[in-house]
Amino acid sequence: MRTYGYILVMALTTYLIRVVPFTILRREIRNRTFRSFLTYVPYVTLSVMTFPAILETTEETWISAVGFLTAMVLAYNRVSLFLVSMGCCLLVFVLQYLP
């Protein structure tokens, strides 16, 4: 029975998080700073969820950090997303299995 209570509380919480902004903010947001803040929220959320997973992927944190830095350098140089992911995966694989 407690499980159904937990599910109900989570459903209400999720519902309120999605409905309250629509009821409070009925007109267009004209503040440039707030609009730019809202533009970057999805990217920041994805980064915050992904970064710890990157560092915990391998047994050695330094290998994961090298893979992450490689991804940063390749992405900064505008390499395609496919090549960035393949390059990092191959580098981490090689570093992990070196004697």
Domain coordinates of the chain in residue numbers? 2-96
pLDDT in tens, 27-66: 888 889 988 998 999 999 998 999 999 989 898 999 999 9
- Alpha-carbon distance 31 to 79, whole Å? 35
Backbone angles phi, psi at 57, to 5 degrees: -70, -45
- Alpha-carbon distance 86 to 24, whole Å? 45
pLDDT at 68 over 90: yes
Determine the residue type at 23. T
Q: pLDDT-based confidence at 14, cuts 50/70/90?
A: very high
- Alpha-carbon distance 67 to 85, whole Å? 9
Mean of per-residue pLDDT scores for the chain: 91
Tell me the pTM: 0.61
Q: pLDDT-based confidence at 96, cuts 50/70/90?
A: very high
- Alpha-carbon distance 19 to 16, whole Å? 5
